[in-house]
Structure 1
Amino acid sequence: MKIADLITWFEDWANPAWCESWDNCGWQVEPGILQESARVLVCLTPTLAVMEEAIASHANLIFAHHPLIFAPPKSFRVGEAIADMVRLAFLHNIGIYSAHTNFDQVQDGTADVLAQILELKDATPIVPTQNGLGYGRVGTIEPVMTLKDLLAVIHSRLAPKNLLVSPSADLQQEISRIAVLGGSGASYISAVVKTGATAYLTSDCKFHQFQESRDRNLILIDAGHYATERPACDRLVQKLRYLNLDWVNLSDRDEDFRQFFP
């Protein structure tokens, strides 16, 4: 399959026009590769380590969730990560494409995959956008489990480096309705409360957002940005393999930028 056809297939599923105004979805670097047969390296974040992996793998497309460029750069200088990524992309004829907030909304996108991993029943968007799509997912879990068991399931299935949990949470409290949103989801706390969810799995939550959740009787669970979004990248690789591309793989140089000391 040519890269142009691959992108058409993807954008029929997750249109970049759906991305938020602050976002930058779609082509980040397109060095004239649209008619080439697709060799795709999928990653969460496009970094120099991922670029080196793409070069070594003879990939011609880095398909990333996070954009390489969020805001228009004012300059490109050697030694700066974005400038070096762009230089290497043109030098080695490797495109960089991003699917961010458009990918967050769709079926089998970041939130939907989290809901599937936790086996949520009757999952619907926390904030609907269009045609049954939207940000986050909320659903029920059967049979009902304790918070302690839910945290064990999250540890087992997402393998986060660490879990942050509301300090007043009762580990024996029974949980039946859960909300999930991959990546930075603290701004959706008010919307989650309205869904009637007892627990909310997301990431990048601050001190006062844990306070807000506690005060609103919502158990906030922060599993980290990487652990909550990386599974959707893996699912994307599985979907791309059905397209019979020349080559597609999930990056093993993707990084979780948070480290926890014992």
Structure 2
Amino acid sequence: MNIADLITWFEEWANPAWCESWDNCGWQIEPGVLHQRARVLVCLTPTLAVMEEAIAFQANLIFAHHPLIFNPLKSLCTGEAIAEMVRLAFTHKIGVYSAHTNFDQVQDGTADVLAQILELQEVTPIVPTLPGLGYGRVGLLKPALKLQELLAAIQTRLAPPHLIFSPTADLQQTISRVAVLGGSGASFISTVVKTDAEVYLTSDCKFHQFQESRDRGLILIDAGHYATERPACDRLVQKFESLNLDWVQLSHKDEDFRQFFP
């Protein structure tokens, strides 16, 4: 399958027209690779380390969740990360394509994969957008779990370097309804409360957002941006493998950008 056909296949599933107005989904760099056989490196965030990895593997497409370019560029100067990415992309003929808020909404996208990892049932979007699409997922744990058991399951299945949760007096509280949203989901807290979820798993939550959740009777769990979105990239690799591409692999150079002192 060539790159143009791969992108057509993907966009029939996760149309870039569904992305938010502030977002930048689709081609970030297209250096004339559309008719080449697809050799794809999938990553969460396109960085110079990922570009160097793509060069080493002779990949011709970096397929990323996070956009390389969010805002209009005013200049490209030697030594700047994006400028170096562009230079290397054109030098080595490696395209960069991003699927962001369109990929967040679809089945087997970022939120849906999180719901599957926690084995949620009777799942619906937190915020429906179009039929069958939406941001986040909320569903039932069957059987219900104690909060301590749920935290242990999240730690085991997502392997976050640091798991933060709302102060609660009872780790033995039974949890049956859980909401999930990969990446920065704190802005959805008010909407999650209306779903009657007892727990909300997301990331990038601030001090007062934990306070707000506690005051509204919602247990907030922050597993980190990387841990909550990286599994969907792995699922994307599996989907690409089913297309019999020449080569596809999940990046080993993706970065969390955070370290925690013991």
The alpha-carbon deviation at position 170 of structure 1 amounts to 2.0
Specify the alignment match of 1:160 in structure 2: 160
The alpha-carbon deviation at position 169 of structure 1 amounts to 4.9
Q: What is the distance in 2 between the residues matched to 1:131 and 1:167?
A: 36
What amino acid is aligned across from residue 216 of structure 1 in structure 2? R
Count of aligned residue pairs for this structure pair: 262
What amino acid is aligned across from residue 15 of structure 1 in structure 2? N
CA RMSD of aligned residues (A): 0.5
Specify the alignment match of 2:236 in structure 1: 236
Q: What is the distance in 1 between the residues matched to 2:56 and 2:239?
A: 23
Specify the alignment match of 1:17 in structure 2: 17
* 1:171-186 equivalent positions in 2, closer than 5 A: 171-186=171-186
Q: Are residues 138 and 60 of structure 1, via their aligned partners in 2, closer, same or farther at CA, if it must alter by over 3 Å? A: same
Tell me the TM-score normalized by structure 2: 0.99
Deviations 1:89-118 (A, max 9, x none): 000000000000000000000000000000
The answer to whether the 8 A contact 1:169-1:219 is kept is no
The answer to whether the 8 A contact 1:144-1:176 is kept is yes
* 1:1-262 equivalent positions in 2, closer than 5 A: 1-262=1-262
Gaps of 5+ in 1: none
What amino acid is aligned across from residue 100 of structure 2 in structure 1? H
Gaps of 5+ in 2: none
Q: What is the distance in 1 between the residues matched to 2:47 and 2:237?
A: 18
Q: Are residues 48 and 169 of structure 1, via their aligned partners in 2, closer, same or farther at CA, if it must alter by over 3 Å? A: farther
Provide the secondary structure at the position in 1 that maps to 2:255. Answer: coil
Q: What is the distance in 2 between the residues matched to 1:169 and 1:93?
A: 56
Q: What is the distance in 1 between the residues matched to 2:154 and 2:168?
A: 19
What amino acid is aligned across from residue 153 of structure 1 in structure 2? A
Provide the secondary structure at the position in 2 that maps to 1:144. Answer: strand
Provide the secondary structure at the position in 2 that maps to 1:130. Answer: coil
The alpha-carbon deviation at position 168 of structure 1 amounts to 2.7
Structure 1 runs (4+) greater than 2 angstroms displaced:
none
Percent identical: 80
The alpha-carbon deviation at position 6 of structure 1 amounts to 0.2
Q: What is the distance in 2 between the residues matched to 1:181 and 1:170?
A: 24
